[in-house]
Structure 1
């Protein structure tokens, strides 16, 4: 089966989460000016943009093309005290625990008509509130596990179950990192057993995060806002390496109302002229690609006259497991993977030319599939049930 690939949109109420979700996914989630407008999580898929699939579609004269998708989930706003149940926080935090990555959205636009639950706009403070609520929820879970497993190991004594002792040592290390040192699980140095424990707990702070800053349309066009440098400094200090993407919900939603590319182009030109900037364009494709990459996802292609299709796998996946994404029998009865590079195919013009150039490769079980590989799998026949 393909790996899970869901990103949850997380933030305080009224920062633009549902508006962002609607613009990103072409959805119609409620987007009103009051806290907890969203209660139940909304889910939608968005296509991962990639010009390569269009090129392959034309080259193979395929009947259809199937792109990769990223699933986005609009999660209700959290408030201070959410880990203790404030603002229906327990339910909302369980929704975050169920996703694989986080779009952490904060607000940097001033608008007297849009209520801010903290009374004023301060995106750095808002980031700290949400981050602390997520960490404290992990602390609650880890504390329970640490105490219960610790008592169990103590009862077993020196000659007790070795596996249970090893599990407790893993939990103890994670507990010390998240609870005592107040750090995110995703930023720790873990061995394979510790990673298994972290995954089994679905720790929220273990999930990759992409930070999104919602600007006014004018600030987005000018690429200026008094908070951006402060937000970047907070991320660099607390979560170095994480990505910050400024965008404008107002602009993206305005753009989504137009049906033709020409209308969108004219709107962008009008906004650019009004703010005396060279150009303005949508940032949604960058956000989608960044979210997809943050989940450590990639895809390979299968191509033919029937269809060109993207198959999502995790980075580092070996050939048999990649074949299993298409069908479990392909993994169980894997023989080889015939692989060519997209760049070689486009440069040389046909599969025959790739083969003639010696760039069509037969690969075995230990081969790690790379992004954009074009693959034909060979598998034996499945054993018949008696």
Structure 2
């Protein structure tokens, strides 16, 4: 008999990101976080300055997710209102060595990270005598180690408190379900603490569905998916070379395996953000490069295993964000809980069919309007009309 085909088991991701996705920009002081925030959000909210802790409270702004599909659907339906998908970005105060023990703005910084779904970690790889580096010189691997250590130390502290609480219940004894669950949770926390002490991040491990639920309830800092943004000079970004890149990759492969590294130039993005589209095109043509911002936004959605579905009509075209594998009732719940609770069916059109027929009636006549029940797993790009009880649609 031929050998059974091995099916690769899909890794279960931590967190519960959805339509209101939140990403925090973190890093040491003076690495370009606030300037990056201004460039990506086209917002004057940030407070870039040449001294530590220029940003004290996290600034917040929404970034539109680039989507050619959304643009095409708006062209077809010509709606009164257009609502694209968005990413909420927070510019969080710069971290310093000792933040886990409350140094600098450590406690505020770490509490703000707990509130986001994911992290953009900005790492400085450019030399500039006029911009102070809080550690005295530019050494990105040292900076990575400082941030990794502070987040791990704080998570170990969280784990110690959680373990204490679980053991209190587990030591009651008996065979109750609660005692059994707390014993299992205590064993899990001990495993997490060990890997943190070994320098690893929680997000880069493989967990069972049951373990994921327990970890999600702990809001650990190292459980946040992370994308490393390597801040280069304009020259290095354009030529795609920098003396630190190989060392950074080696560090990420060892301590944050599977996480993405995206080189970019805050200096260039800041300059582009002040230009017209024609001026931007000319500048990028001269440098023979592209802006990294669209990739930075869309890659975070991919990292979190997120997809989009659309609701379309003459009143509104809107792009909604869900995690891959979401079933129709739960997708309806992203719009409103009532739609999930009284779900009847989903009328689904495929994006390709809408582009081809350009008319809902023609799609229906062609037999392309699909009737799907509660077990239907929504696919990326679906256009959906939900039918629910109590006349809610």
The residue aligned with 2:145 is: 128
Q: Distance in 2 between matches of 1:120 and 1:27?
A: 30
Partners of 1:174 and 1:185 within 8 A in 2: no
Alignment partner of 1:20 out of 33, 36, 43:
36
- CA shift, 1:268, in A, is 2.1
Task: Find out whether 1:178 has 2:193 as its counterpart.
Answer: yes
Task: Find out whether 1:373 has 2:382 as its counterpart.
Answer: yes
Alignment partner of 1:240 out of 247, 257, 264:
257
Alignment partner of 2:170 out of 147, 153, 156:
153
The residue aligned with 1:344 is: 353
The residue aligned with 1:163 is: 178
What do residues 337-381 of structure 1 show as CA deviations (whole Å, max 9, x unaligned)?
111111222134433443344332110001111121011111221
3-state SS of the aligned residue for 2:48?
coil
Instruction: Name the stretch that deviates more: 233-242 or 354-363.
Output: 354-363
Q: Distance in 1 between matches of 2:68 and 2:221?
A: 34
Partners of 1:8 and 1:72 within 8 A in 2: yes
**What TM-score results when the alignment is normalised by the length of structure 1?**
0.92
Instruction: Name the stretch that deviates more: 332-341 or 185-194.
Output: 185-194
Q: Distance in 2 between matches of 1:360 and 1:382?
A: 21
The residue aligned with 1:220 is: 237
3-state SS of the aligned residue for 1:27?
coil
What do residues 140-196 of structure 1 show as CA deviations (whole Å, max 9, x unaligned)?
010122134224422x13x25431332232232233233454422223332333222
3-state SS of the aligned residue for 1:201?
coil
Q: Give matches, 1:1-386, under 5 Å.
A: 3-28=19-44, 29-154=46-171, 156-157=172-173, 159=174, 161-179=176-194, 180-258=197-275, 260-270=276-286, 272=287, 279-381=288-390
Q: Distance in 2 between matches of 1:182 and 1:167?
A: 26
Q: Distance in 2 between matches of 1:77 and 1:190?
A: 31
What do residues 115-134 of structure 1 show as CA deviations (whole Å, max 9, x unaligned)?
11111111111111101111
Number of corresponding residues: 373
- CA shift, 1:85, in A, is 0.8
- CA shift, 1:234, in A, is 1.5
- CA shift, 1:31, in A, is 0.1
Compared CA separation, residues 152 and 321, structure 1 to 2 (3 A): closer
- CA shift, 1:3, in A, is 4.3
- CA shift, 1:90, in A, is 1.1
- CA shift, 1:315, in A, is 2.1
**What TM-score results when the alignment is normalised by the length of structure 2?**
0.90
What do residues 233-269 of structure 1 show as CA deviations (whole Å, max 9, x unaligned)?
22122222211100000000001111x2111122223
Partners of 1:171 and 1:197 within 8 A in 2: no
What do residues 276-323 of structure 1 show as CA deviations (whole Å, max 9, x unaligned)?
xxx222110000111222233322111111111112222221111111
3-state SS of the aligned residue for 1:166?
helix
- CA shift, 1:26, in A, is 1.1
Q: Distance in 1 between matches of 2:285 and 2:72?
A: 29
Partners of 2:29 and 2:133 within 8 A in 1: yes
Partners of 1:317 and 1:369 within 8 A in 2: yes
Partners of 2:327 and 2:376 within 8 A in 1: yes
Partners of 1:5 and 1:295 within 8 A in 2: no
Q: Distance in 1 between matches of 2:18 and 2:283?
A: 39
Q: Distance in 2 between matches of 1:78 and 1:34?
A: 13
Partners of 1:82 and 1:88 within 8 A in 2: yes
